[in-house]
Amino acid sequence: MDLPLEQVFPDPAAIAVARVLHDLFMFRWTLSRAAIGIAVGVAVSGFAMVAYRQGWSVAKESAAVAATLLIVVIGGRWTAVRDARWATVHGPVSATMKVHRGRVVVRRVDVFSSVMLGVVGVGWAATLWLAALDWVGVSVVLACAFMGPLFVMFAIPALAHKVVVTPAHLTIHRAFSRSVVPRHTIRTVRRGDAGALVVETLDGGSAKIPTGISSLFVQGNWNHRPAQLKAAGRLEAAFAALPPAEAADSDTVTTRPRITLIIIAVAAAACFATLTALVYTDVVKDAPR
């Protein structure tokens, strides 16, 4: 249940700011509104160019406002079109899955994490290349060390999630845990919260399958429905390609931690925290560059 803003923000000024932010977040970018927003953004961009040529002090601020406005408008319009398109889809999206070595692998599609993983990977490689050219200084080494934990942060949601379907089991690989569900005990698969599919079994057990963009990067009213319907379609196709076996070696859902990924994540977080602390020490400040 949502609490009134008066209880969350007792200060009147904070309430006013919260209401403005809430209205902006819930704003529906229709085509006409998007056109007006883009026109305003272009006008502010033109003003920023004039201010830059004239040497006015507001040039940088104007350019920042224009860029922010255009990003918000274009992103909001894309989201509105996406929501309208998927509002007419009421069931799993049909898909074709191939059986390879007696199993079907359904991977999570997290576009944001994959793109950011590529960006960080390219930046990391460029930093290492600069270091190989003997342009090594404390700043370059620190930048490289910072990118390692960032690489891990995006690699885990982009690459670690998958579902493996066999005649006997449905194995759900999540970031830090793995669940094994006997195929003959599956009762239904339904949409859950935070973009997950929920596998329910005959004995009342359940297991979640994360889909789409990680909830680590999106909150609030993000529409997870498209990713859920696509994943449900791929999972349905995998079930059709591999009918379940009559029985498995267990009748219950078992969940175990993925120790290796947990250790990697903890090590990356510790590395990032240590380097952040070192930035503010005299050792780094006084080191030769």
Q: CA angle, corner 137, sides to 132 and 142, nearest 5? A: 95
Residue 5: the pLDDT is: 39
Among the candidates 52, 86, 120, a domain finishes at: 86
Same domain, 229 and 186: yes
DSSP H helical segments within 87-202, as ranges?
A: 111-132, 138-159
Same domain, 113 and 211: yes
Interatomic CA distance for residues 278 and 288, integer angstroms: 15
HSE-CB for 202 with a 13 A CA cutoff: 8
287 found inside a domain: no
Same domain, 77 and 163: no
Interatomic CA distance for residues 168 and 249, integer angstroms: 8
Residue 280: the pLDDT is: 66
Residue 56: the pLDDT is: 87
Name the helix (H) or strand (E) containing 16: helix 12-25
Ranges of residues in the chain with a pLDDT under 50 are: 1-10, 22, 284
How many C-beta neighbours within 10 Å does residue 127 have?
A: 19
194 found inside a domain: yes
Same domain, 10 and 108: no
Residue range of the domain that includes 249: 104-274
| Sign for the pseudo-dihedral over CA of 81, 83, 89, 92 | positive
77 found inside a domain: yes
Same domain, 141 and 45: no
Same domain, 38 and 147: no
Residue 36: the pLDDT is: 92
* The amino acid at 140: V
95 found inside a domain: no
Please answer whether residues 198 and 54 qualify as being in contact, where contact means their C-beta atoms are separated by less than 8 angstroms: no
Same domain, 10 and 129: no
Label residue 84 exposed, middle or buried (CB < 10 Å: 0-12, 13-18, 19+). exposed
Residue 103: the pLDDT is: 92
Residue 2: the pLDDT is: 42
168 found inside a domain: yes
Query: Which of 109, 96, 234, 255 shows the shortest CA–CA distance to 173?
Result: 255
- Domain total of the chain: 2
Same domain, 76 and 119: no
8 three-state secondary structure: helix
In total, the chain counts a number of residues equal to 289
Same domain, 65 and 122: no
288 found inside a domain: no
For residue 109, give the DSSP letter. Answer: -
* Residues forming a β-bridge with 206: 200
Residue 249: the pLDDT is: 73
φ, ψ for residue 153, nearest 5 deg: -60, -35
- What residues contact 233, with CB distance under 8 A and at least 6 apart? 92, 93, 94, 95
Same domain, 144 and 237: yes
Among the candidates 86, 121, 142, a domain finishes at: 86
Same domain, 213 and 136: yes
Residue 218: the pLDDT is: 72
Interatomic CA distance for residues 230 and 222, integer angstroms: 16
183 found inside a domain: yes
Compute CA 58 distance to the chain's CA centroid, rounded to the nearest angstrom. Answer: 35
Same domain, 144 and 270: yes
Interatomic CA distance for residues 95 and 104, integer angstroms: 13
Interatomic CA distance for residues 3 and 25, integer angstroms: 17
Among the candidates 19, 52, 86, a domain finishes at: 86
pLDDT tens column, 9-33: 445 555 565 555 545 555 678 889 8
pLDDT tens column, 225-245: 888 999 999 999 999 999 887
92 found inside a domain: no
